[in-house]
């Protein structure tokens, strides 16, 4: 901790900084998949200390968005028996090592909506009595549906049902944060930290606030320590909020490279920055069909995977300027990246905190969102958070899907081995996927169809062979691709029978440009 009367954070080494973290501490972190704003040097030093000295042990780790590289980095640094006793995360898929510990019941595993965790950090930082919100009602986060618990081990109740003026809410309970691990770009001579060279801000300020209000320790990793003074508009971690700073000159902006100016500067994208990628097969059909549902002049959100390809489809159709694109990491405008760098954008117009971004999302700023789906059932409920018993977590899925005016779920009709082709403008299914997505009851509810119906949301489900919409009675089949037989190719691969009236034919033009065969 800093000495009383000292304004500037103490500059120290990563090893010395993490030596201040005690056994049993609750450690809150910021970061996003692809290495965006992840304090990797601090995490590496913490892992090294545990492997060498056997401490600190029994940590509780809390983070909002996915962190890691699927190769032991990020939250994977904690994936050693005894190092952590509890993990509360918004997205687990970036760390297969940590998921394996959860599968073996070697830690208490919880997942909560990513925005909830970010905003709960803010509430803890303001010493308020938790986060009270409708986010998560009717989903796995609802205490009537598990309260975010993914392992039998662990009895902590992180959320409770409350009521005000006859309306149900969830109260996500506050907790003490002993240590915050955050990252910035530059610390100036006054000890203030800014993010001018970072691809995102995420929730670093909220994470630091939570630790400070709890009487905890704030450790920041930065690339540079400057003798100058930062522009006050780029400072997001004021000096009094931070205890220790570790300078890491080799810090990379993302896992893709040390620095890419396009990810943190506005400007007109160069032609190569806006050229569309070329998805093929089922993925291309889905992206093009979903893009046809996106209007003009609104705010568009896309999720990870196939939904992110909707941006490519819009670019290919000459519609890149039709909408303002928003992603939950705090980016508005620009061209969002896909794949492992999802969460950053080329030439963003706005880069602010993900905590604030979730306020905008919950307030209804998104007109249309395109999201993925792992399972969907007869009621229109969707699961992406738990697959075959494996913990995935929702990321920002819950907030976005509950608040957008129009929700378009995008995914292949079946999974694991689906092979399709387009022949003479007709869809040909060469091999069916081994896993069904249209199931009688989803394994876990990440999006509640009945709640969406009650809210009057417009909900579509777009696959390569069929389109469904959510109506009062459940899912209705409204469109079928040319070449697809309803009984053979649709109903025989569903665990329930959807409503069927007079489904239209999918526009053949969507298929004609998809000539390449692909395995999805």
Instruction: Name 28's bridge partners.
Output: 62, 180
> Are 356 and 48 contacting, i.e. CB atoms less than 8 angstroms apart?
no
Which is nearest to 482 in space by CA: 346, 323, 289?
A: 289
- Which residues are catalytically annotated? 328
At residue 189, φ and ψ (nearest 5 deg) are -65, -20
Ramachandran region of residue 5, left (φ > 0), alpha (ψ -120 to 50) or beta?
A: left
- Angle, CA of 499, 500 and 505, to the nearest 5°: 135
Token readout for 471 is 């109506």
Contacts of 507 (CB under 8 A, 6+ apart): 289, 292
d(CA 60, CA 156): 12
Residue owning tokens 């292949």: 412
- Residue ranges of alpha helices (H) inside 126-164 are none
- Antiparallel, parallel or unpaired: β 217-222 and 179-183: parallel
Count Cβ neighbours within 10 Å for each residue of 333-368 and write b for 16 or more, e otherwise. ebbbbbebbbbbbbbbeebebbbbbbbbbbeebbbb
Is 515 in a helix, a strand, or coil? coil
Do residues 511 and 481 lie in contact, with contact meaning Cβ atoms separated by under 8 Å?
yes
Sheet-wide strand order for 419-423: 426-431, 419-423, 518-519
**To the nearest 5 percent, what fractions of the chain are helix, strand and coil?**
25, 30, 45
Kindly state the tokens that stand for 52. 């060498």
């Amino acid at each position: 901790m800093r000495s009383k009367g000292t304004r500037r954070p103490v500059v120290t080494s990563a090893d010395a900084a993490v030596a201040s973290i005690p056994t049993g501490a609750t450690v809150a972190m910021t970061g996003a998949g692809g290495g965006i704003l992840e304090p990797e040097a601090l995490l590496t030093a913490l892992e090294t200390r545990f492997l060498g000295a056997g401490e600190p042990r029994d940590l509780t780790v809390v983070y909002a968005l996915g962190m890691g590289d699927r190769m032991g980095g990020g939250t994977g640094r904690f994936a050693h028996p005894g190092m952590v006793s509890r993990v509360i995360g918004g997205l687990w898929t970036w760390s297969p090592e940590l998921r394996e510990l959860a599968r073996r019941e070697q830690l208490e595993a919880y997942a909560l909506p990513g925005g909830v965790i970010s905003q709960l950090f803010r509430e803890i930082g303001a010493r308020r009595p938790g986060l009270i919100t409708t986010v998560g009602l009717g989903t796995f986060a609802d205490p009537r549906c598990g309260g975010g618990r993914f392992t039998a081990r662990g009895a902590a109740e992180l959320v409770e049902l409350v009521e005000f003026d006859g309306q149900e809410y969830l109260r996500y309970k506050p907790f003490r944060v002993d240590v915050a691990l955050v990252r910035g770009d530059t610390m100036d001579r006054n000890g203030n930290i800014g993010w001018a060279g970072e691809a995102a801000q995420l929730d670093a300020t909220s994470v630091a606030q939570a630790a400070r209000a709890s009487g905890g320790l704030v450790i920041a990793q930065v690339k540079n320590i400057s003798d100058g003074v930062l522009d006050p508009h780029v400072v997001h971690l004021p000096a009094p909020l931070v205890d220790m700073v570790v300078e890491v000159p080799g810090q990379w902006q993302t896992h893709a490279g040390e620095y890419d100016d396009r990810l943190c500067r506005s400007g007109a994208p160069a032609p190569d920055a806006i050229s569309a990628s070329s998805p093929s097969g089922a993925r291309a059909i889905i992206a093009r069909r979903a893009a046809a549902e996106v209007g003009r002049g609104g705010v568009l959100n896309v999720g990870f995977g196939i939904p992110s390809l909707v941006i490519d489809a819009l670019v290919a159709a000459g519609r890149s300027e039709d909408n303002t694109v928003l992603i939950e990491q705090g980016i508005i405008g620009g061209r969002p990246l896909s794949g492992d760098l999802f969460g950053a954008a080329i030439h963003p117009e706005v880069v602010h905190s993900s905590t604030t971004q979730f306020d905008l999302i919950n307030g209804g700023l998104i007109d249309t969102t395109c999201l993925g789906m792992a399972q969907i059932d007869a009621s229109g409920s969707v699961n992406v958070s738990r697959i075959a018993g494996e913990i995935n977590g929702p990321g920002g899925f819950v907030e976005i899907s509950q608040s957008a005016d129009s929700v378009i779920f995008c995914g292949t009709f079946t999974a694991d081995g689906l092979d399709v082709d387009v022949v003479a403008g007709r869809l040909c299914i060469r091999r069916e996927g081994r896993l069904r997505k249209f199931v009688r009851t989803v394994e876990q509810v990440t999006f509640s169809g009945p709640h969406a119906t009650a809210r009057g949301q417009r909900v579509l489900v777009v696959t390569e062979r069929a389109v469904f919409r959510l109506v009062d009675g459940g899912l209705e089949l409204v469109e079928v691709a040319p070449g697809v037989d309803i009984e053979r190719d649709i109903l025989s691969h569903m665990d329930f029978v959807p409503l069927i009236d007079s489904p239209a034919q999918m526009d053949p033009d969507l298929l004609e440009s998809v000539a390449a065969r692909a395995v999805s």
